[in-house]
A and B are shown apart, each in its own frame.
Chain A
Amino acid sequence: MKTATARGVERDIVQLPQAGDVAPYYEPQANEIAIFEAAYRKRLPVMLKGPTGCGKTRFLEHMAYRLRRPLVTVSCHEDLTSSDLVGRFLLEGAQTVWQDGPLTRAVKAGAICYLDEIVEARTDSTVVIHSLTDHRRKLAIEKKGQEIEAHEDFLLVISYNPGYQTVLKDLKPSTKQRFIAINFDFTQEDVERKIVVNEDPGIVPELAAKLVATGRKARLLKDHGLEEAASTRTLVYAANMINAGLDPVSACRVSMVDPLTDDTELAEALMEIVKAHFS
């Protein structure tokens, strides 16, 4: 979230949008804003599905701003325990102090809690969200023998990227069906152009159009060994690099070819696409 506050300064993770904040830029793909607002009105948990770099996180930042709610993001990883989410006792001198985890903070403050890439977390740590996702809207704090009724504005959002990396790590169907699902994909060409221009206003629209055309062609190679297709984010990076003075072909190579593949032949094919548009 772009704020007027100083950078390089510690801030609490629970931050309401301030007066003077600018809405994070988001270009709607379909009716996802309406879906999210409806889900929020009924406080139903939301699941964002889609490939890397297609705008899931940005969408949520934008929605948090629109709904005037703080956003608490937790990036999940395989060693994430339920204490990391809920909280733990810490020693302080001869005393112990309970410290709330980010989920508990969000539940108390009525924030939107975003569990990014939830499938990465161990299943035993994700079960704590179950009671939050149904009509109970409660968080149990086992260690303290307490439970919290969630603040009325609290909302749980998770994201996941259905790809072949997650064959064995899919969410349990019983977990999945507790969520309202919003599908994301790379946007239409004209929208994507708008996004690139908006993310890097220094880029001329013609160049942005070429970048987008290159990216869309590059995505066709996804089934040929590319683990992740060239995302909108990589296109923005390429635009940034061009704007910073690099020539377009090199900018594309360093932002959307070399990071995506180590396969020389695939890289050659990708470079053919780049050169077709930029030379």
Chain B
Amino acid sequence: MEASSAVTGTAPAIPGTPGFDARREAALPGFHSNERKRLLTLLLEVWYGRQFDLRESAWSPEKGRPFVETDGDGLFMPAVMPGRDEAILAALHTAGRLAFGSFDRAATQSIFRDAAAGLPGPGRRPMVWATLFELYGDDLPRFQLLFDMCEGLRVDSRVQSLVPNHLSRLFATGIAQRPRPPESLPYYDSALAAVRGALAIARGEQADLDPRLRRLLLPDATIADAFRIANELYRETELPPVKDEEVFQSAYLPGRAPSAACLARAQSGDALQQEAQDKPDSKNRKGAHEEQESDQQQRSDTRFDTAGQQPGEGGDIVASGRRSAGSDGQSPRRPQTQAVENGKFYPEWDYRLGRYKNKWAWVNEQPFGESNSAEADRLTSQYATALKRLKKAIQAQKPTRLAPKVRQFDGDDIDLDAAVAYVSEQHAGMSPQPAIYRRRELRRRDVAVTLLADMSTSILQYLPKSGGRLVDRVRAGVLLFVEAMEEVGDVYSVAGFRSRCSDDVSYFTIKDFDQPLTDQVKGLIGGISGRLATRMGAAIRHATARFAGIESRRRLLLILSDGRPEDYDDGGDRRYLHEDTRMAVKEAVMRGVHPFCITVDPTANQYLPQIFGIGHYLVLDNINSLPKKLPEIYLRLRR
């Protein structure tokens, strides 16, 4: 890779940077997991009914065959998998290992106990996977292959109970990929034969399966059974020893991976280190942005600080967060004098006390100072076609959307229904009102909307694969939104918010209701950036208050977010700000403002229904579609 970039004369690509990843992946054929992450996430959610943390592993082509790995918590996908079927098999299999007890503590403890019991005499060391595997010495690869065959069979047959075509896909893909180094074939074929047997049993057909392996197909089989049976096979089966790394890797069926390696690695870095130390590595890559890093650092410090507090102190957790923030001299206790005039206190709901804390959150409204016209121009030209299409769509829908006023006393057209009614009512001896015209004009002040953007640090995150950062999509989305709004003709405002503890919530008005859309406003949108945290409740209260004096039948507050409400002083108690936000939403509804949340956080299903209510939020899991989707969602909502 370095060599090729030297030839073309560009700067050498540095591993771990987005540019490097993009170039590396573009050069490879196959299933690009990062682009297809959404598909895998959807499938895992469908089959397992829950979400898994899908991350990129540190795999690169020189490390050999790509395997999906797990640390017992998340799934680590290599950037490229050889094919779609193998990638789906691997994701389902690895999630299956998490769901079906490959990391079950009780079972692994029993393995260690049994193994330790077989060791001679005193001086026994506490057993972990690494010490356990040392017992097999140089022949470890042979045992490991057998163990993984057994454990793989156990897991895959459990996956089959969820995914009706799992084993048949595994078998078909296994047959299709059979050409491989001949030394690995004995292992590969016996694993494949076991899958064929399990598949026949799952279909209720006559099966040809090693009776020892049948035990693994039972739903109550554990990893300890796999270990025991692998040992039996190890003692009784004649399979050639494996020395070569490539042969070892080739012996795995599509989707399966050396599991014991991962298990061992968690405790020691011994001979099995051929598997990448993916976790710290990939973390570094994710959090590459300096600002984000330092901010997270700061946040976790605050958390750590408050974690020492005794529970049961109620609202004091918040107060202690303040102390800690104030003591380092960074966070002023009260906002600076110039800002005080524009600031306003709002109450905050404390679920632990079951009441509002009066004058708790200080929301400081200020003009947004960061402008970037160049970025706005760039985005306008980048999304020019999308914008054109959008405007066309709005124009096409106008006659129905902006329905002409009917039954007017004067107007451009005759309202035929009204005219007929008028004549017939006259005939019937009544004296109807001559309101028989229709007039095409915008229905005045029908809908008023505020777009409230979350401008916390997290929007600076890099987007996997597609390149760029979330903030670019947010800027583009807001730009398309304002352009669309001009076309639609509704009253609208655009604002952003961020917070640092309850006494410093910033609310930036980017465009006010009565302000025209100028290049200056677009420049401000181009300058949208992320900093600090998300105190959503206070921002919702302030946005609701800003609707005062706006004449309109319907008021909509669109909140654009990428994560849950959080702040430095929430003491690690997520529920606190969740509950407060929920109350803020309720208050808004009571004041005739309908909040609706659009989020790009794929885990938002876990908390948004409680906060906004079912049907009052939308999870956009395809971030790239945000710019185009945002105006569309609005048009749908106002219908």
Contact = CB atoms under 8 A, between A and B. Distances in A.
Interface of A: 78-79, 81, 83, 88-91, 94-96, 98, 143, 162-169, 213, 217-218, 220-221, 223-225, 263, 265-266, 268-269, 272-273, 275-277, 279
Interface string B420-434: 110111011010000
A168 B638 contact: yes
Contact of A224 (B423, B425, B615, B621): B621
Contact of A220 (B49, B424, B596): B49
A160 B143 CA distance: 62
A268 B39 contact: yes
B513 interface: no
B447 A276 contact: no
Instruction: Indicate the member of A78, A90, A224 with the most B CB atoms within 10 Å.
Output: A224
- The 8 closest A-B CB pairs, nearest first, are A89-B424, A269-B42, A96-B427, A96-B424, A164-B615, A96-B428, A276-B165, A91-B424
B622 interface: yes
Given A89-B424, A276-B165, A223 B619 contact: yes
A266 B614 CA distance: 21
Nearest to A210: B164
A167 B425 contact: no
Contacts of A79: 403
Contacts of B605: 223
B43 interface: yes
Contacts of B164: 213, 276-277
B88 A165 contact: no
A144 B428 CA distance: 9
A266 B39 CA distance: 7
Given A164-B615, A220-B46, A263 B622 contact: yes
Contacts of A218: 46
B447 A168 contact: yes
B339 interface: no
Contacts of B618: 164
A266 B38 CA distance: 9
A224 B42 contact: yes
A213 B638 CA distance: 36
B622 A168 contact: no
26 contacts: A81-B417, A89-B424, A90-B420, A91-B424, A91-B427, A94-B427, A96-B424, A164-B615, A164-B616, A164-B637, A167-B556, A167-B596, A167-B615, A168-B556, A169-B639, A221-B42, A224-B619, A225-B622, A265-B42, A266-B42, A268-B39, A269-B46, A272-B43, A272-B88, A273-B46, A276-B164
Given A90-B424, A221-B45, A276-B166, 5 more contacts: A89-B421, A89-B427, A168-B447, A168-B638, A225-B620
Interface in B298-345: none
A162 B447 CA distance: 21
A164 B636 CA distance: 9
A159 B617 CA distance: 23
Instruction: Indicate the member of B163, B168, B617 with the most A CB atoms within 10 Å.
Output: B163
B554 interface: yes
B47 interface: yes
A95 B605 CA distance: 62
Contacts of A265: 36, 38-39, 42, 622
Interface in B585-624: 594, 596, 605, 614-622
B405 to A, nearest CB: 13
A213 B424 CA distance: 58
A234 to B, nearest CB: 17
Contacts of A224: 42, 45, 619, 621
B622 A89 contact: no
Contacts of B166: 276
A147 B427 CA distance: 21
Contacts of A220: 45-46, 49
Contacts of B596: 164, 167
Contacts, number: 99
B254 to A, nearest CB: 16
Contacts of A266: 42
A272 B622 CA distance: 19
Nearest to A93: B427
A143 B427 contact: no
B375 to A, nearest CB: 28
A259 to B, nearest CB: 18
B639 A165 contact: yes
B424 A167 contact: no
Contacts of B619: 223-225
A215 B180 CA distance: 39
Interface string B424-460: 1101101000000000000000010000000000000
Contacts of A277: 164-165
A168 B637 contact: yes
A90 B417 CA distance: 10
A197 to B, nearest CB: 20
A272 B45 CA distance: 13
B125 to A, nearest CB: 46
B46 A162 contact: no
Given A167-B637, A269-B39, A221 B424 contact: no
Contact of A225 (B616, B621, B637): B621
A273 B42 CA distance: 10
A214 B385 CA distance: 38
A91 B426 CA distance: 10
A248 to B, nearest CB: 13
A263 B624 CA distance: 13
A272 B621 CA distance: 18
Contact of A279 (B165, B423, B425, B639): B165
Nearest to A145: B430
Nearest to A95: B427
Nearest to A223: B605
A221 B46 CA distance: 7
Contacts of B428: 89, 96, 98
Contacts of A221: 42, 45-46
Contacts of A88: 421, 424
A165 B424 contact: no
A88 B419 CA distance: 12
A118 to B, nearest CB: 16
B524 to A, nearest CB: 28
B163 to A, nearest CB: 5
A223 B639 CA distance: 21
Contacts of A89: 421, 424-425, 427-428
Nearest to A169: B639
Interface string B138-178: 00000000000000000000000001111010000000000
Contacts of A269: 39, 42-43, 46
Interface string B71-96: 00000000000000000100000000
A209 to B, nearest CB: 11
Contacts of B38: 265
A275 to B, nearest CB: 6
Contacts of B421: 83, 88-89
Instruction: Indicate the member of B39, B605, B638 with the most A CB atoms within 10 Å.
Output: B39
B609 to A, nearest CB: 9
A167 B613 CA distance: 11
Instruction: Indicate the member of A81, A94, A269 with the most B CB atoms within 10 Å.
Output: A269
B425 A217 contact: no
